Chains A and B, each alone.
Chain A
Amino acid sequence: MSLLDVQDLAVSLPLSLGLSGAFKPKTARRLEIFSDISFAVAAGETLGLVGESGSGKTTLARALLGLTPTQAGRITFDGRLRATQADFAQMRRTSAMMFQDAVASLSPRMTVGALLAEPLIIHGQAPRDLAAKVADMLHLVGLTADFAARYPHELSGGQARRVGVARALALNPKLVIADEPTAGLDVSVQGEILNLMRDLKTRLGLSYLIISHNLAMIRHVSDRIAVMYLGRLVEIGPTRAVFAQPLHPYAQSLIAAEPLPDPRKRRADLAISGEIPSLLHRPKGCVFQSRCPQAQALCRSDAPVLRALGPNRLVRCHFADPARLQED
């Protein structure tokens, strides 16, 4: 039984913004951010969602918590379908989000103490001794109680991350969606935050959806990964298997493009050419065909569907070869 189950989710935004947009009919042109997104997160599992900027991964995270309206699809969380704002309001008691910019996601004129107490107050779960509870929350993420008096801008990047973790965990959620949880952190601090998240996961029985462009990081923290390109999931599978043998050409290129900290493994050739196209010019057929080294006529005319190739592996490619798996 999955904790979070997403079926055929799609988000598009109206193209015309501004005052004139207010008077235009709702059927005006829309920009598709993503569509046909289906995946599940099991209880206690960490799913890593990988993609480059423009892939739609951040919008997807927001849509999952009802912060961005969806145009199609269904979100089931904790056994209940989530469709209305009331559903999502209820969902937010047992799911939380960590934002990409830790400092900017903390209201700038409130103290850390006030920020940590806020979810408890909003959901009517504030204990009588709120200060002690706040101190406990700070302690849980490895900060001392005196941090309660500080303002967000007085925190270092790592400290702001820890406050973000504490705030996400305030209501004892079952699912935490973390958008680039280590963006902007030095590698030595990145490890601290990831270890903290992993430690809390086992202690509190959490599930994570971790969104990042950082392949090296996501490889170590995820049980399964999902690769997103230009608004489509192109490959989903167990982390170890996907990194060992990526089946989608984009996943292959992405993994090959990552610079390795070893001068003996320098790449002579180029993993992938071109840049991710604008959402306004999404290629016809397969979204990756404009950059795919293996693209053929079929790829330019027909969009592939996400199909099962081997155990627990899904790939959206006409030509992905399951034979490669059997050699394994």
Chain B
Amino acid sequence: MKPPLLEITDLSVAYQTDTGPVMALRGANLVARAGEVIGIVGESGCGKSTLAAAVMNLLPATAKVTGGAVRFLGQDILTLAPQAQRALRGTAMAMIFQDPMTAFNPVLTIGDHLVDFQHQSRAPYRAKLARARDQLALVGLSDPDVILRRYPHQLSGGMRQRVAIAAALLMNPQVLVADEPTTALDVTTEAQILHLLRNLRQTYQGTIVVISHHLGVVAELCDRVYVMYAGQVVEQAMVDDLFHAARHPYTRALLACDPASFPNLTPVLPTIPGRLPDLRDPPKGCSFAPRCALRSARCTVAPPWAQVSPSHGVLCHEVGA
């Protein structure tokens, strides 16, 4: 069996705030192998963006890793020297952001950006420019030579996201993290970017980690999905199992809430009663228990991780065992 490209074990991250540390991640585990598309899905505040930032070693200064490890090909990248971390980013790992506009410098052309992103390569300028042009063609931009001379603001949102994908793939990274890659886009543009990402899979050898709050995006793109709630992974399953045989009560409730998931019109949309727990003082037992329909006396104790099948795990007392 191949060693995992990316392995996150028991990762805990806390943000320092005026009112005390906020436990954004509490013992998160994740494994991603080459050729896989991993989905991380959850609502705001579940820790999915913190997880992405930890993978890229881009946590803000207020965040502190309080435990666990992020291993890339077996090496813990959190303990690497800053210079070695920088060397990994861009070459071994790359990221696509929600709003690609913020990832580009407004006074540089697309060509400047794409050549500059290859600064770790020793190839001559013309070779870098040629590579940039090839990448633009690869992501479906029909006129790469024109695009190279454009400034970021001269492109539409969909084109910018295509350029961002081209930029991320420039150095052939083994891990590609896409944080809400289509959230800022219109429906028809979103469909095109999803189509593009799916087509890229056929040539791309690494792993793609897609972070999204949109269940439809995850269903369209991913092979395997992690569901997060209140800083923990509460369920992990193959995509088909997740959407058709979800076990965790939170996953089931989340799926039920999505208006796109039921074809018939309903007078009342399902919701999840209650609120997210305060992550300054996370509950001792199951985080979801206060909002859970299945809760029992056992749920005051932290639930164990239970494998319901070799590829399907769940963090719950009631459905796990």
Which A residues lie at the B interface, using CB under 8 A? 52-53, 157, 186-192, 194-195, 198, 213, 215-217, 219-220, 239-240, 253-254, 257-267, 270-273, 275-276
Contacts and interface: CB of A to CB of B under 8 A. Distances in A.
A144 to B, nearest CB: 13
Contact of A270 (B195, B213, B265): B195
A213 B187 contact: yes
Contacts of B217: 259
A216 B257 contact: no
Contacts of A191: 257, 259, 269-271
B188 A261 contact: no
Interface of B: 43-44, 156-159, 186-192, 194-195, 213-220, 239-240, 243-244, 253-255, 257-261, 265-272
Given A186-B43, A187-B254, A219-B265, A254 B188 contact: yes
Contacts of A273: 192
B156 A275 contact: yes
B200 to A, nearest CB: 14
A266 B191 contact: no
B187 A261 contact: no
Contacts of B194: 259
A216 B191 contact: no
B194 to A, nearest CB: 6
Contacts of A260: 216, 219-220, 260
A197 B189 CA distance: 30
A267 B191 contact: yes
Nearest to A184: B44
Contacts of B214: 259
A275 to B, nearest CB: 5
Nearest to A194: B269
A270 B271 CA distance: 32
21 contacts: A187-B257, A187-B258, A187-B259, A188-B253, A191-B269, A192-B271, A220-B259, A220-B269, A240-B265, A254-B188, A257-B188, A258-B187, A259-B216, A259-B260, A261-B258, A264-B243, A266-B219, A266-B220, A270-B192, A272-B191, A275-B156
B260 A261 contact: yes
A327 B87 CA distance: 62
Contacts of A266: 219-220
B257 A188 contact: yes
Task: Please give me the 6 A-B residue pairs with the lowest Cβ-Cβ distance, nearest first.
Answer: A259-B216, A216-B260, A191-B269, A257-B191, A52-B186, A186-B43
A260 B262 CA distance: 10
A267 B191 CA distance: 9
Contact of A213 (B43, B186, B259, B260): B186
A276 B260 contact: no
A216 to B, nearest CB: 4
Nearest to B255: A261
Contacts of A272: 188, 191-192
Nearest to B216: A259
Contacts of B218: 261
A165 B271 CA distance: 18
A275 B189 CA distance: 7
Contacts of A258: 187, 191, 216, 260
A60 B267 CA distance: 28
A216 B265 CA distance: 10
A259 B272 CA distance: 22
Contacts of A194: 269
